[in-house]
Amino acid sequence: MHIQDGYLSTSVCLATGAVSLGAVGYSLHRMKDSLGERTVPLTGMMGSLIFAGQMVNFPIGLPVSGHLMGGVLAAAILGPWAGCVAVTLVLVAQWALFSDGGLLALGANVLHMAVLGSIGGYAVMTTVRKLLGGGLRGAVAGSVVAAWLAVLAASAVFCLEFRLSYAASDFDFGNIFTLMVTLHALIGVGEAIITGFVVSVIYQQRPDLIDMAQPTDSRVASSASRFAAAGLVCALAVAAFAAPFASELPDGLDSVAERFRIAASNESTSGLFANYDQIPIAGWQKLSVSVAGIGGSLAVFAAAVLIGRAMPMNSPTIATEAAGE
């Protein structure tokens, strides 16, 4: 899932790195307000946990298996800012220990998983929770929807970065976008189910752990910024579905990419296949995006309902009591 070095051009890596650096710097600044002197042990332990939790393989009936990514989970426990920092440091440690994820591409990975995942995911999560009125159902549905949207948004942003990294003649943007977003709509369902289950377990056992940052951090809850962030994530997700239908978007991107390329003097791969005319497969991409969108949304909401119902582990009374308070 990580972007490795070599996927994106140096200039795009630097640009995403600058954005991530700003976001993480701001998160560091805000983190202390919410967690105080508990910052280091809590954030560090959350990081270790995500690190270890990613080692649990989830079978999907194929030779490959999925795992937790954890951006939304970290935000659900620690709040957006400390969650962002925790995921960022997980990514740093994964590079430094596994050489997984690349050094130049670290900025892009942080942007996708920590900034979009934790900060954007948190915004979506709290919005959904507010709409559903709290309680177990709100917490689970919020985390499920946020986890799915975060994966989708990350894939859409990755496609844009990829587009800006290479010359337009090398590939058809619409096609790669379709494939990536369709795939990630499915991957996102997995992430959403895992996050939903984990959140519901925690909610039933230790409801106080969900959103520890909330009571002391009043500024996070300022609705304007939250709606802005939620709007951003939703817009990205909508863009993901709408992009194949809107024919102007690739053109607009082309001009941006041209400007980028002049600045970065990126090469066009003059390869074996560059001169071939592209065979348009017009039908399948619109269809598959629609199917992915509708199917994915349905699956996510079904998962939210099922997870909310299928968790009679033990002591549901504690959960209802806590919800009642």
Partner 1 sequence: MSDFWDRYGRSVSICHRMPPVLKLALAISVIVAGVAIPVRYWPAYGVLGCLVFAGHSIAGIPLGYLIKRLLIFLPFVGSMAISLPLSQGLDRGWDLMLQIMFRGCLAFLVSLWLVNVMPFEQLLVTLRKLKVPAVVVAILAFMYRYVFVVWDELDKMRTARKARSFSGGSLWFRWRTLSQMIGMLLIRSLNRAERIHGAMCSRGWDGEVHWLDDQD
Among positions 262-281, residues that touch partner 1 (CB under 8 A) are: 267, 269-274, 276, 278-279, 281
Which listed residue (22, 98, 286, 290) binds partner 1 by CB under 8 A?
A: 98
Cβ proximity to partner 1: between 93 and 232 the closer is: 93
Cβ proximity to partner 1: between 7 and 122 the closer is: 7
Distance CA 175, CA 281 (A): 9
Kindly state whether residue 183 participates in binding partner 1, applying the rule CB under 8 A: yes
Closest approach, Cβ 132 to partner 1, in A, equals: 21
3-state secondary structure of 58: strand
Closest approach, Cβ 160 to partner 1, in A, equals: 15
Closest approach, Cβ 100 to partner 1, in A, equals: 8
Q: Which of 158, 145, 79 is nearest to 113 (CA)?
A: 158
Q: Around Cβ 306, how many Cβ atoms within 10 Å?
A: 15
Here's the x/- map for partner 1, 191-210, by CB under 8 A: it reads as --xx-xxxxxxx--xx--x-
Cβ proximity to partner 1: between 11 and 297 the closer is: 11
Which listed residue (28, 132, 232, 305) binds partner 1 by CB under 8 A?
A: 28
Sign of the alpha-carbon dihedral angle for 318, 308, 135, 50: positive
Closest approach, Cβ 268 to partner 1, in A, equals: 9
246 conformational bin, left if phi > 0, alpha if psi -120 to 50, beta if neither: beta
Are 172 and 180 contacting, i.e. CB atoms less than 8 angstroms apart?
A: no
Closest approach, Cβ 178 to partner 1, in A, equals: 7
Are 207 and 322 contacting, i.e. CB atoms less than 8 angstroms apart?
A: yes
Cβ proximity to partner 1: between 14 and 234 the closer is: 14
The angle at the Cα of 223, spanning 28 to 129, to the nearest 5 degrees, equals 95
